[in-house]
């Protein structure tokens, strides 16, 4: 992927997103959230240069507001400033990937430890969407359903703080998918793995679920790192 890809090439998709967003009384937060939505939708991909003048015009905000939005996104590891070059959508390297999975394990393990027993309907719905996406060969569909599945597991813990932390992690994970994964075969195995994990959780096998989740995340991390090394 060309690290100098600019947002000008992606403007129509970003403009569509802007039109669907609610009015922005809090301009900085609105601009940051709109850019986050564009990243999640693939309109702004890892390594894309965020051309300040063009983005400010597309979003309908001042350049000072846009810079403040960049600061918010930088704190969330979603953009990076490169001296003398500008601001780019983050393209996580090996160290960032490894660190991201450490944090993800900490959050998901904590959620698993405190979650109440019982069914998790949102996780089942995410699995159904994943299966449908796999049948269609939809990479983005499987990736999105996978993220919804893991969010559902954390939501089930009933902790707003854990959910907020997981949402931040999932935003970074989305960048990983867009930067490294382009073929359905990468995602397809996770449909069965997620189904097995959910069965362990709902059947009360908490320790087995914890061990399975850890091995699952380690394998996923290593798969991403191998793809980065080969690219």
CATH code for position 160: 1.20.120.530
* Residue 87, H or E segment: strand 86-89
Residue ending a domain, among 59, 89, 119, is 89
Residue 39 lies in a domain: yes
Based on the structure, what is the number of domains in the chain? 2
**With contact defined as beta carbons under 8 Å apart, do 79 and 73 qualify?**
yes
Residues 135, 140, 145: CA angle, nearest 5 degrees: 75
Q: Please report the pLDDT score of residue 2 as a whole number.
A: 44
Q: Please report the pLDDT score of residue 8 as a whole number.
A: 35
Q: What is the mean pLDDT of each run of 10 residues along the chain (231 residues)?
A: 41 62 72 90 88 93 95 95 95 92 97 96 97 88 91 98 94 82 75 97 97 96 88 71
**Are 99 and 195 within one domain?**
yes
**With contact defined as beta carbons under 8 Å apart, do 29 and 72 qualify?**
yes
Q: Please report the pLDDT score of residue 182 as a whole number.
A: 64
Q: Please report the pLDDT score of residue 23 as a whole number.
A: 54
Residue ending a domain, among 89, 123, 141, is 89
Number of H helices, E strands in the chain: 10, 2
Q: Please report the pLDDT score of residue 94 as a whole number.
A: 92
**Are 78 and 127 within one domain?**
no
Q: Please report the pLDDT score of residue 198 as a whole number.
A: 98
Residue ending a domain, among 89, 120, 139, is 89
Q: Please report the pLDDT score of residue 7 as a whole number.
A: 40
**With contact defined as beta carbons under 8 Å apart, do 119 and 127 qualify?**
no
**Are 206 and 179 within one domain?**
yes
**Are 206 and 182 within one domain?**
yes
Residue 2 lies in a domain: no
Host domain of residue 24: 7-89
The CATH number covering residue 55 comes to 1.10.10.10
**Are 56 and 143 within one domain?**
no
**Are 99 and 210 within one domain?**
yes
The Cα diameter of the chain in Å comes to 55
């Amino acid at each position: 992927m060309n690290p100098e890809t600019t947002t000008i090439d992606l403007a129509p998709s970003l403009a569509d997103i802007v039109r669907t967003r609610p009015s922005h009384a809090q301009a900085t937060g609105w601009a940051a959230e709109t850019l986050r939505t564009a990243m999640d939708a693939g309109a702004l991909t890892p390594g894309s240069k965020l051309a300040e003048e063009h983005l400010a015009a597309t979003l309908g905000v001042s350049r000072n507001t846009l810079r403040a939005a960049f600061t918010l996104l930088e704190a969330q590891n979603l953009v990076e400033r490169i001296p003398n070059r500008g601001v780019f959508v983050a393209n996580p390297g090996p160290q960032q990937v490894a660190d991201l999975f450490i944090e993800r394990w900490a959050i998901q393990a904590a959620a698993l430890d405190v979650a109440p027993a019982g069914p998790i309907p949102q996780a089942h719905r995410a699995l159904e969407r994943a299966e449908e996406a796999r049948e269609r060969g939809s990479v983005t569909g499987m990736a999105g359903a996978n993220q919804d599945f893991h969010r559902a597991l954390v939501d089930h813990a009933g902790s707003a703080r854990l959910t907020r932390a997981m949402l931040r992690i999932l935003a970074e994970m989305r960048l990983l998918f867009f930067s490294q994964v382009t073929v359905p075969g990468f995602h397809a195995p996770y449909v069965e793995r997620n189904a097995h994990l959910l069965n362990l959780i709902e059947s009360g096998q908490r320790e087995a679920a914890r061990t399975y989740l850890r091995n699952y995340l380690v394998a996923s991390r290593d798969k991403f790192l191998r793809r980065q090394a080969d690219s």
